[in-house]
Chains A and B, each alone.
Chain A
């Protein structure tokens, strides 16, 4: 169920400007071999590559290729990796809309990695919409303008007497018309228009944008065609597994590779020395065989002596006791200090203290990490399901000692990203093994490899104190965040922004941080940082609302206060963190209305509704969740209501709803069933029996509402996830009076009678 609320206005450009869209865009047109027009748009880079894990800055160019065949069929290159977020459909929709062609005449083609042509090619940070909304529509509009100009020239009339629709140019005064396909040769000889000056449609005239269009590859998916990295076949290909040390950072001392080589079907077995960075090639044993099953089965006979290194002293229980100890000390670093929190606690009418924690989480991409590689004559060819090919090309080039320009990457469809495939460790493993054996190699990780050699969502510990005055107003808040890092360097995705909500809304606020050394690799997981911070802050704010004797809805409204934009206070002034209190209040009110929040007390004992809200990736989301907890403590999620504000336009309502529903369910799946336990420097869990993905019988209905506001559209891959976790925990509190302060949810602690 999707519903649109609010109003649409023409052409909001505020966010586009703030994101740094430059006006320097230009377009080149050329004639395709065999006839047809090719539009090659060179678009400016963006000041900020918001993609998690990306450090691209400023100088990138963004390109888009369109070709129009003489028969009028338009082929649009999809430049970004398709990981299930729907960009292979959505980005071409932007171009096709302004080009004024019918969607049935559009074909999309996955582009290879080619930064010279396409600039930023990454699936991360929910960036595809904000980064491409304006530029790609301009590419389409410029194409239409050229085709109209071509028709005008042929007819000897003024271009502004002509119009275009559905791939046809019309001259209404004379009743003449001509299809785009017949215009391409003339159009290719015309000067390309200034992209910054082309006229974009009034959104009320959109015919493609705003339509619920199915994914362009759906038919190939449902008929089982080979689309994914794991499906790649290269003539003469061998199959590989790569056994790494179960302890992070451990190295091979010795291995019985000669015995392995003698096994049936095995062609090669060898030790890879590897380096020290978990993001690069690490130490391990490669087994290469005639088929994957033979390579993997050979592991049963593999005997390796490991130098485990020092991480083997680390464990989850050790982290908990270290965090407890650190919590009693002054934070090692101050992140933010507003007013005087201690003085305010001393005069507060109520002081609430609570300790929250959450575990390491794996990504569990259903398609395990894999890559196919061929190294020949100093050139490397890669077929990879990657979210982030550019760092992969650099890594392969530097590790194999070839030029980056000698690395070709074909981007396959990706069977789940969730941030895991922003890293390219599997890519360099495949390249190294292929180079060593001198044949094309498909490397595939087993599920156990995947669970035990991830870049985990870091665990974390928050020690909160909140102070309320006589009227129940929040006058002081402190958080001692115990996280991971070395020295004063925070581990990947383990940090917290000094502006984290509710900073700037509480007069006396103290955020401090202490670090625990960590040998376990960490990295971005869908809505990195936010997926944990929303849980702890929104749960603790719910505690404070109840301590204040207030309806959480009213407590939140009071906290957000008047309508204004809280400017980011981070050193780089990241506009991605500017927080519009009115937009947040808008979605809170919408979800309260849709979910029947005011009537929540009519639910029977054991059932309750919880609310939470969060802003990230430029999207504002408020969510209400109804849960029923049995006397034995079993949790059933009855329903989730979501209200989101991602700006003025939902580009593809079908995919938008699918993404939001998926994100909300993903959040409850993690909260109910997932954790990675570290023991002896290694991961205890190994497969779906131990780290449990959400299943259909646990998946409630998710009702999605969008509030349409006058802001440039932004992305939907991530921002619906974070608030669902505290909404669930707050619902459990409403149902049982038991506060969940540690994830994953331990149902044994939820029993009631």
Chain B
């Protein structure tokens, strides 16, 4: 059946089974390949997008449940000043190794900073623990979030 959704401020109508997860609508029907498949059970965060600003695992969201919610993906996050700031912090800190998880990391980080502009290490742990980085770039993810928040990038947790 047909669904109308709004993605990155553009409106689309897609023909899909209502059970089809938003991730696959984005990737295979709308050709937005930035959101990644990693586990299909919401355990890795590679598919993280925003629904009305809230971070969600798009592999678990059936297209039928999206309704009028505004979808923001990695392709659209740079349209906000905060999104751009987070992407630039990722570049400044040279976070990336393989890069596969980083779209999801940036989406989770942007959602964190929207709610908590000056996060503590514990805030970062809580908001980011759902996003796996198999290359383990966690030190730099932490530093990039602090940089985007205008905080010192030093790791305050050191013994």
Contacts and interface: CB of A to CB of B under 8 A. Distances in A.
A188 B17 CA distance: 59
B124 interface: yes
Given A214-B94, A415-B100, A687-B43, A224 B75 contact: yes
Contacts of A367: 36, 38, 98, 100
Nearest to B157: A701
Interface string B120-142: 00001110111111111111111
Interface in B24-75: 24, 27-29, 31-41, 43-44, 46, 73-75
A81 B120 CA distance: 38
Interface in B87-116: 87, 90-91, 94-103, 106
Contact of A669 (B21, B94, B136): B136
Contact of B94 (A212, A228, A265, A703): A212
B127 to A, nearest CB: 9
Nearest to B17: A264
A393 to B, nearest CB: 23
B100 A219 contact: no
A365 interface: yes
Contacts of A587: none
Q: Give the most central of A693, A702, A703: most B CB within 10 Å.
A: A693
B78 A218 contact: no
B62 to A, nearest CB: 11
B40 A447 contact: yes
B98 A84 contact: yes
A471 interface: no
A415 B36 contact: yes
Contact of A661 (B27, B31, B35, B139): B139
Residue from A658, A661, A702 having most chain B Cβ neighbours under 10 A: A658
- Mostly, the B contact residues are loop
Given A86-B97, A239-B28, A367-B36, A221 B138 contact: no
B91 A265 contact: no
A357 interface: no
A654 B135 CA distance: 15
B20 interface: yes
A639 B139 CA distance: 12
B84 to A, nearest CB: 10
A696 B74 contact: no
Contact of B24 (A293, A687, A701): A293
B102 to A, nearest CB: 5
A85 interface: yes
Contact of A688 (B41, B74, B75, B95): B41
Given A447-B38, A665-B138, A688-B43, A221 B28 contact: no
A228 B37 CA distance: 12
Contacts of A230: 33, 36-37
A218 B74 contact: no
Contacts of A444: 37
Contact of A222 (B73, B106, B132): B106
Given A291-B28, A665-B138, A366 B159 contact: no
Contacts of A418: 134
A365 B35 CA distance: 16
Contacts of B36: 228, 230, 366-367, 415
B99 A655 contact: no
B66 to A, nearest CB: 15
Nearest to A82: B98
B139 A702 contact: yes
Nearest to A701: B155
A205 interface: no
A444 B125 CA distance: 31
Contact of A696 (B39, B43, B128): B128
B99 A666 contact: no
B20 A665 contact: no
Contact of A366 (B27, B28, B134): B134
B91 A219 contact: yes
Given A413-B99, A687-B39, A696-B125, A701 B158 contact: yes
Given A217-B99, A415-B36, A701-B158, A292 B24 contact: yes
B33 to A, nearest CB: 4
Interface residues of A, number: 70
Contact of B75 (A212, A223, A233, A626): A223
Contact of A291 (B29, B37, B106): B29
Interface string A691-706: 0011111011111000
A396 to B, nearest CB: 24
B157 A700 contact: yes
Contacts of B124: 696
- Counting chain B CB atoms within 10 Å of each CB, the highest count among A225, A364, A413, A701 belongs to A701
Contacts of A700: 157
A746 B158 CA distance: 25
A297 B97 contact: no
B157 A222 contact: no
B38 A694 contact: no
A297 B137 contact: no
A64 B99 CA distance: 25
A297 B40 CA distance: 12
A230 B38 CA distance: 11
A218 B103 CA distance: 11
A700 B90 CA distance: 19
Contacts of A702: 139
Contacts of A659: 97
Nearest to A364: B134
Contacts of B73: 224
Contact of A662 (B32, B97, B129, B157): B97
Contacts of A294: 17, 20
A702 B135 CA distance: 14
B135 A662 contact: yes
A414 B98 contact: yes
Contacts of A626: 159
Contacts of B24: 291-293
A416 B95 CA distance: 15
A626 to B, nearest CB: 6
A694 B136 contact: yes
B102 A222 contact: yes
A331 to B, nearest CB: 37
Contact of B87 (A222, A228, A697): A222
Given A215-B94, A293-B21, A699-B138, A224 B34 contact: yes
Nearest to B39: A447
Nearest to A638: B159
B79 to A, nearest CB: 11
A416 B43 contact: no
Max chain B CB contacts within 10 Å: which of A85, A415, A662, A696? A696
A228 B138 contact: no
Interface string B135-151: 11111111000000000
A515 B17 CA distance: 52
24 contacts: A84-B98, A214-B91, A218-B90, A218-B95, A221-B102, A223-B34, A223-B87, A224-B73, A226-B33, A226-B34, A227-B99, A366-B38, A415-B98, A417-B98, A447-B40, A639-B158, A654-B94, A662-B97, A662-B137, A688-B39, A694-B136, A695-B131, A696-B128, A701-B158
The 8 nearest A-B residue pairs measured at CB: A224-B34, A84-B98, A415-B100, A224-B74, A665-B136, A84-B97, A221-B99, A699-B138
Interface of A: 83-86, 212, 214-215, 217-219, 221-228, 230-231, 233, 239, 264-265, 291-294, 297, 364-368, 413-418, 444, 446-447, 626, 638-639, 654-655, 658-659, 661-666, 669, 687-689, 693-697, 699-703
Given A696-B133, A701-B155, 4 more contacts: A293-B21, A366-B44, A367-B98, A696-B131
